């Protein structure tokens, strides 16, 4: 009998194969008392496990395909850096020595302490970050029961030819698991937990592995060896499907491969709608290596360069010279294409360096505390001015724009412009070559900014809508929390009203408005955004060609009327019907 399961589709694609249920060895984490001599030996045992876990992660990193997107290796590097962090690895050693308990119990104690700390914060990437911590601690726990001679696959439990073509069913998967699965030819995976912004989900999309998460109870009902059909577009998993259903899935697989080949033909095609409206398709990047992905799809430039990675996993803040070197390298790689640099958006999920956080104490609620431009304005000498000077100095090497995160009022924008004018004056006095007319824009990512967008447009050169935060702050939900993520709705009338108000404010002030949130790369919303008046979108590079295909076959003149009708729709059902009509 066919069983059907529904979860969260996080990586599109269709997979058919035998189920391979992944069950982690149960680790006994109950405390065991040690005498003084045993305590010393237990610390040595923990340190060997830390070394083994690190070696295993290095082996996983070495197996990453050379043409894989940069974020694939970035996640593994993050885990390796955690294992190099003296504060992170020092805490369980301290617990073993002070409480004279075994390493497993000490690691479990550390995990619980960190979980409580993360639970006290409210922000959209919270679950993702605690997942990182848990994955690293779990890899050390696994290594405690593993000899070093067992090799790299012991960290993931994945390896060997018998994994090829299978669909993994597990409670959860680490980034290392995901990379190992791709290396060994796994066809897809289904997990009981996880969300669309988890690192495992992001890696699955980057590596092209069909994946569905949040399928509660999957391992209870799916047996090893059963034939599964996974649709990573709809979030549907079928177990023991009929022959006719499997034939339909195989036909869909064939169509998808053909669609991918057709999309590649659009790489050098200009993005112009059927009624002649030119659209700019930009890319979001986090680190320099992301530029490789941007080149593969011939993006028009970088619409969002998140600079937080320059600040993370270090004890000092990057100085002006370091910023300048990085920005100049990125501009050289872009060869004249524009670069939009978002000034550092630390706070919330992206921890503030301890030497800065200690100046003012810790935020009780980081998502609503000193984040983004608030932090920069409170620490201008340490954070804001060195970055601004570097951006202006780099502007002599190519077109560059400054984007200010988390603005809530025109007063904040004016404060920023005062500091920017101060930097311009200093550079002139120093005889430094720079572009006097570097555009300065603001992020629209909290409801306050969208409501006063007209005031912000009067102060700035452009606006950029960040829908990820805008939706969550508007609806007061964390989209990675599977208890409330069903409420995450880009079509909510309040959200659409704020987006439309921001676009309208830019139009009235003759100020360009772009959109760089996840909505920009979601094929369901592309035509709606075009109808609302957007002509610049920025997205992950791997989504750009799909969006281009939709845009060049669309007529904005027709979509404008439909989009206006959409804004007045009273019910969710009506909005879904209108969206289907727009996309038909």
Same domain, 287 and 253: no
Q: Is the pLDDT of residue 12 over 70?
A: yes
Q: What is the CATH number of the domain that holds 134?
A: 3.50.30.10
Structure tokens at 97: 């020595």
Residues 455 and 576 reside in one and the same domain: yes
Highest mean pLDDT among 18-22, 407-411, 537-541: 407-411
Residue 412 sits in the same domain as residue 515: yes
Cβ–Cβ < 8 Å for 546, 523: yes
Is the CB of residue 404 less than 8 Å from the CB of residue 345?
Answer: no
Residue 268 lies in a domain: no
Q: Comparing C-alpha atoms, which of 266, 278, 197 is closest to residue 10? A: 197
* Per-residue model confidence (pLDDT) at position 71: 58
Which residues, other chains included, contact 277 with Cβ-Cβ below 8 Å and sequence gap of 6+? 530, 535, 556
pLDDT reading at 379 higher than 50: yes
How confident is the model at residue 296, as a pLDDT? 86
Predicted local distance difference test score (pLDDT) of residue 125: 46
The more confidently predicted of residues 420 and 566 is 420
What does the DSSP assignment read for 241-276?
Answer: --HHHHHHHHHHHHHHHHHHHHHHTTTTS--B-TTS
| Averaged confidence pLDDT in the chain | 85
- pLDDT at residue 65, as a whole number: 66
> Where does the pLDDT of residue 183 fall: very low under 50, low under 70, confident under 90, or very high at 90 and above?
confident
pLDDT (average), residues 270-279: 97
- pLDDT for 349 equals 46
Reply yes or no on whether the pLDDT at 431 is more than 80.
Answer: yes
What CA–CA distance (Å, rounded) separates 260 from 489?
Answer: 28
Determine the length of the chain: 584
pLDDT-derived band at 182, boundaries 50, 70, 90:
confident
What separation in angstroms does the CA of 247 have from each of 243, 251, 395, 413? 6, 6, 56, 58
The confidence score (pLDDT) of residue 434 equals 97
pTM of the model: 0.71
Percent of the chain with pLDDT over 70: 86
- List, in sequence order, every residue forming a beta bridge with 1; answer none if it has no partner: none
For residue 126, what are the domain limits? Answer: 3-260
Q: Which of 79, 199, 323, 416 is catalytic?
A: 199
In a domain, 267, yes or no: no
- Report, as an integer, the average pLDDT of 7-17: 89
Identify the band that residue 365 occupies on the pLDDT scale cut at 50, 70 and 90. Answer: low
Q: Give the model's pLDDT for residue 364.
A: 54
Taking residues 27-50, what's their average pLDDT? 88
How high is the pLDDT of residue 31?
87
* One domain for residues 60 and 87: yes
Residue 508: the pLDDT is 97
pLDDT tens-digit map of 519-529: 998 899 999 99
181 and 321 share one domain? no
The mean pLDDT of 217-241, rounded to a whole number, is 91
In the predicted structure, residue 390 carries a pLDDT above the cut 90? yes
- Tens-digit pLDDT profile for residues 451-489: 999 999 999 999 999 998 899 899 987 655 666 666 778
265 found inside a domain: no
CATH of the domain at 397: 3.20.20.60
Phi and psi dihedrals of 347, rounded to 5?
105, 170
* pLDDT value at residue 470: 94
- Looking at 135, 323, 416, 516, which residue is catalytic? 516
Q: Is the pLDDT of residue 565 over 80?
A: yes
Catalytic status, residue 162? no
Assess if residue 266 is contained within a domain. no
- Asked if residue 70 has pLDDT above 60, the reply is no
Q: Bigger pLDDT: 507 or 315?
A: 507
Q: Quickly state the pLDDT bin for 358 (edges 50, 70, 90).
A: very low
Write down the H helix ranges in 100-236. 103-119, 126-144, 153-156, 175-183, 199-207, 218-221
Q: Do 216 and 353 belong together in one domain?
A: no
Lowest pLDDT segment from 106-120, 380-394, 506-520: 106-120
Given 199, 234, 260, the domain boundary residue is 260
Helices (H), 395-523: 410-429, 447-451, 453-459, 467-475, 493-508
More confident residue, 180 or 266: 266
Does residue 269 lie in a domain region?
no
pLDDT at position 548: 97
pLDDT in tens, 288-320: 777 888 888 999 999 999 998 788 666 788 999
What are 95-136's pLDDT values in tens digits? 999 999 999 999 988 888 887 776 655 444 444 566 778 778
- Short-list 66, 234, 47, 209, CA closest to 144: 47
CA 126 – CA 480 distance, rounded (Å): 8
First-residue to last-residue Cα distance in the chain: 34
Task: Please indicate, yes or no, whether residues 352 and 224 belong to a single structural domain of this protein.
Answer: no
Together in a domain, 241 and 109: yes
Identify the residue with better confidence: 12 or 276: 276
Domain shared by 58 and 152, yes or no: yes
The answer to whether the CB of 516 falls within 8 A of the CB of 259 is no
With respect to residue 135, please indicate whether it lies within any of the assigned structural domains: yes
- Per-residue tokens: 505: 């404010």
Query: Quick one: angle between helices 175-183 and 70-84, nearest 10?
Result: 130
Q: For the ranges 45-54, 167-176, 320-329, 376-385, which has the lowest average pLDDT?
A: 167-176
Place of tokens 């572009």: 435
Is 216 in the active site? no
How many CB atoms within 10 Å of residue 381? Answer: 7
pLDDT beyond 60 at 159 = no
Q: Specify the DSSP class assigned to residue 571.
A: S
Q: Is the pLDDT of residue 404 over 50?
A: yes
Between residues 312 and 218, the one the model is more confident about: 218
208 inside domain: yes
**Rounded to 5, what percent of the chain is helix, strand, coil?**
55, 15, 35
How many domains does the chain divide into?
2
In a domain, 325, yes or no: yes
| Residue 294 sits in the same domain as residue 231 | no
Distance (Å) of CA 71 to CA 26, 208, 450, 486: 31, 13, 31, 27
pLDDT, position 67: 58
Average pLDDT over residues 414-443: 97
Residues near 338 by Cβ (< 8 Å), separated by ≥ 6? 282, 300, 301, 302, 398, 399, 400, 401
Residue 142 has pLDDT above 90, yes or no: no
Same structural domain, 435 and 476: yes
Buried b / exposed e along 438-448 (16+ C-beta atoms within 10 A): bbbbbbbbbbb
CA separation for the pair 336, 434 (Å, rounded):
16
Q: 487 and 346 in one domain?
A: yes
Final residue before a domain boundary, out of 206, 232, 260: 260
Number of other CB atoms surrounding residue 459 within 10 Å:
19
Q: Is the pLDDT of residue 155 over 50?
A: no
Q: What is the mean pLDDT of residues 270-292?
A: 90
For residue 502, name the pLDDT band (cuts at 50, 70, 90). very high
């Amino acid at each position: 009998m066919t069983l059907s399961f529904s979860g969260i589709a996080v990586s599109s694609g269709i997979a058919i194969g035998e189920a391979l249920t992944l069950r982690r060895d149960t680790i006994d984490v109950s405390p065991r008392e040690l005498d003084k001599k045993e305590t010393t030996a237990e610390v040595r045992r923990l340190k060997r496990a830390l070394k083994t876990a690190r070696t295993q992660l290095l082996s996983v990193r070495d197996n990453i395909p050379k043409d894989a997107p940069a974020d694939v290796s970035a996640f593994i590097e993050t885990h390796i850096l955690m294992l190099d962090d003296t504060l992170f690895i020092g805490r369980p050693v301290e617990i073993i020595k002070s409480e004279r308990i075994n390493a497993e119990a000490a690691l479990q104690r550390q995990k619980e302490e960190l979980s409580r700390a993360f639970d006290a914060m409210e922000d959209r990437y919270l679950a993702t970050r605690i997942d990182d911590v848990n994955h690293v601690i779990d890899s050390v726990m696994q290594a405690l029961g593993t000899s070093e001679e067992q090799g790299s696959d012991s960290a993931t439990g994945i390896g060997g030819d018998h994994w090829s073509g299978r669909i993994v069913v597990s409670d959860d998967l680490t980034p290392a698991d995901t990379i190992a699965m791709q290396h060994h030819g796994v066809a897809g995976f289904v997990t009981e937990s996880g969300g669309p912004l988890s690192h495992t989900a992001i890696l699955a999309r980057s590596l092209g592995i069909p994946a569905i998460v949040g399928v509660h109870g999957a391992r209870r009902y799916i047996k090893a060896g059963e034939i599964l059909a996974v649709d990573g577009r709809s979030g549907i998993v079928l177990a023991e499907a009929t022959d006719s259903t499997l034939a339909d899935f195989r036909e869909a697989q064939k169509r998808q491969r053909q669609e991918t080949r057709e999309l590649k033909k659009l790489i050098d095609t200009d993005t112009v709608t059927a009624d002649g409206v030119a659209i700019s398709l930009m890319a979001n990047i986090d680190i320099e290596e992301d530029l490789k992905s941007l080149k593969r799809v011939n993006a028009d430039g970088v619409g969002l360069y998140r600079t937080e990675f320059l600040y993370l996993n270090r004890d000092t803040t990057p100085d002006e010279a370091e910023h300048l070197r990085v920005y100049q390298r990125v501009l050289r790689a872009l060869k004249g294409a524009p670069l939009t640099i978002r000034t550092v958006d630390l706070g919330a999920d992206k921890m503030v360096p301890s030497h800065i956080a200690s100046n003012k104490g810790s935020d009780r609620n980081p998502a609503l505390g000193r984040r983004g431009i608030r932090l920069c304005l409170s620490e201008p000498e340490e954070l804001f001015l060195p970055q601004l000077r570097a951006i202006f100095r780099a502007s002599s090497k190519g077109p560059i724009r400054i984007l200010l995160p988390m603005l809530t009022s025109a007063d904040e924008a004016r404060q920023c412009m005062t500091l920017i004018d101060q930097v311009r004056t200093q550079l002139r006095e120093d005889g430094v070559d720079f572009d006097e007319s570097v555009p300065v824009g603001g992020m629209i990512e909290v409801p306050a900014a969208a409501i006063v967008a007209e005031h912000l447009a009067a102060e700035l050169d452009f606006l950029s809508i960040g829908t990820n935060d805008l939706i969550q702050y508007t609806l007061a939900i964390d989209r990675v929390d599977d208890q409330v993520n069903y409420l995450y709705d880009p079509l909510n009338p309040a959200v659409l009203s704020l987006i439309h108000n921001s676009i309208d404010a830019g139009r009235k002030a003759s100020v360009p408005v772009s959109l760089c949130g996840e909505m920009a790369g979601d094929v369901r919303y592309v035509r709606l955004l075009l109808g609302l008046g957007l002509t610049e979108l920025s997205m992950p590079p791997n989504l750009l060609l799909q969006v281009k295909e939709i845009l060049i076959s669309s007529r904005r003149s027709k979509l404008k009327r439909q989009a206006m009708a959409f804004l007045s729709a009273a019910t969710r059902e009506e909005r879904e019907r209108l969206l289907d009509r727009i996309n038909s």
